[in-house]
Each structure stands twice: as structure tokens, then as C-alpha cells.
Structure 1
Amino acid sequence: MHHRETLKQNPPIGIGQISSDIEFSGQSIDSPEEFFGLISEMEDRIDELEHEVADLRTVIDESEEKADENPREDEFAALDRWLQENGPQSDDAQEILLTAAQILNSEGPLKTSELKDRLTERYPEASTYASIDTLWASTVERLYEVTPGFEKPGYGAYNFDITRVRK
């Protein structure tokens, strides 16, 4: 194969006439059997490498699937950074939006009342807000459209898609 251009220009008259001056990987080939043996070894090695590549692709695909199923903490860290740089100025509002994203990510689409209930469980005193309704109006309801990952799949329902944060 190394000297295929030479062989194309000056083909041997018969298979038995392949000479020993043809070298393969620094190794002298003395007979057609040796040449075909080396080709078989190369084909076997190519098969092994193809299997290794297929196995690596499977591992990568499984890893990506797991990342989609169980978002890594750094993805929520990216959302936290976005909130700090582009979100509300209030640390409380940023924390509430991050918490709402984590709740929606783990529990799926929720009705407004369900998400409010989950937030009330986490923030029973509503800290700097007069009530849960004020908390809701000042955070999720006001900012979900501009915060990456939040979506409203229907009237009175909210969802969070972590893949939109990655983008």
C-alpha cells in the first residue's frame, strides 16, 4: 500500500513476482502471503479501533443523556450568574427565581398555585415581601419572560427548561 503509485505504474506480471524491495512499515515483504497477512492484521486493527470509537460514542451519548436528566450544579450556577448580572437587583429576588427554577426543573410544569405553594414552603415568612402574592408578583410573574429557562406552557402554568440556560 505504501508503494501503490509505483505498482500502478509498473504492475507485476504475476502475483508471485512481488519483489522483496517493497517495504511495509520498515519491514521487508518477501512474499504475497506476508503482504496479505499484514493487510489482514491492519483490517483487524481497524475493526478494533472502530469498536473502540463506537464504545466511546456510547459513553458520550449516555453522559449527555444523564446531563439532560440530572442537570449538573454548574448549570444552575450559570443561571445564578445570569441572575446576578442581568436579573433583579435584590439578592432575595435572585434567590427566589433560582429556587423556582430548581423546583420546576425537578417537578416539571406546575400550576401557578402549586409553584406558589412550593415557594411558600421554602420562604414561609416571605422575608422582604409583605405576602406570598407580593413575592410572586415581584419575582417569577414579573421576570419569567426574560430569565433564561423559564417558560409558560399554558395559561396559569410555569415550567423550566435547563437546556435553554446552556444556550
Structure 2
Amino acid sequence: MPYALCYGVSVRINGVEPRGREIEQLERTLCLLPSMHLRALPTITVGDRPARGGGGSASPTMPGGPFIRLNRMIFDPVQRPVNAGRLNYTLLHEVGHIIDWAFGCMATLAGSDPAGYAALLAHAHSGATQGPSEHFADAYADFFFHGGSFNRGSDNGGWVMPRGNWARDPRIQAILGSPAFSDA
């Protein structure tokens, strides 16, 4: 079975060819994340579920969880142009849910950073499901997709900021203040 190996942490990925284009894109995407986040991830399964949308995830306390599921159609550049390049935005979004739940990010931000929490909620989420975690997952995906990364040598607590205006986005500032980023 294929695995993504990043920083000595392996993440199991079912449903893709061991040396194919899909596993390469997923591994390249996962290798943007700090090892602390990688260790929180369940097995990632690529298949025909969820039937609607590009992906789904569940925490250990949810029915059938923990899991990350990616619909195979996310690799189709016509159906999901955002995933046509080097990185997979859908995977980053689903990982964002897992990280939110694992570290209690939105629950913490609601009390510790009301302005950041409000900035996250104010950003429109167009997916099929709604709720606070969707907004965290969107910002998490935006951070890494637009050039953010973890580098122990960075002057910003280890975090390399995304390119352009993304570095000043109040949502990005909010997630960087969350337990998932401040504890890394």
C-alpha cells in the first residue's frame, strides 16, 4: 500500500497507484506540513466517496472516524482545476478539519481570539457542509496552498508566510495563533 513519507512520518494512502501521479501530488502536498500535523492524520482513502463533493473527513469521535476520504474526481483538472497543479487543495482542506479537531483550534480561538474567530467565520465557505470547522479548514488550505510552510530556521516562530496578500489575511493570522500552529 502506498505511503507518503515526510520528515520521517509515514501517512498511509489507500486507493492510488504506488508510483503514480496521484500519490506524488498527495505526498508533495503532505510534505508541506509539520511533522506534528502529519502524526495527527488518519489513513487517507481515495475512491468514489463521498458521493458529492471532493472530500470528507471525520474525527475519532464521529461515526466511522477517524478518516480522510478523497473522491477520485478531484484529480480531474476539468472538475477540480484547483488541484491540477503541484498541490492538492482538497487534501489540504480535509487535513485542516483533522488538525482543527485534534488541537481544538476553533474552540480555542472562539475564546482566545474573538476577532480572529470572527474573521474566519466571515469568509464565505461554498462547500456542501457548513460550520466553524469548514472555515478553519479553508484557511488552513489557503495557508499551505499559497506558499506557507514550516521551517525551523524561520524568524516567524518557524512559519514561512504565504506569498502576497495572503500573509496579511486576518484568517491566516488567526490560524497561526491557534494551538495547532503555536505548539508546533
**TM-score scaled to structure 2, two decimals?**
0.28
**TM-score scaled to structure 1, two decimals?**
0.30
Return the index of the structure with the highest Cα Rg: 1
Richer in helix (by share): 1
Richer in strand (by share): 2
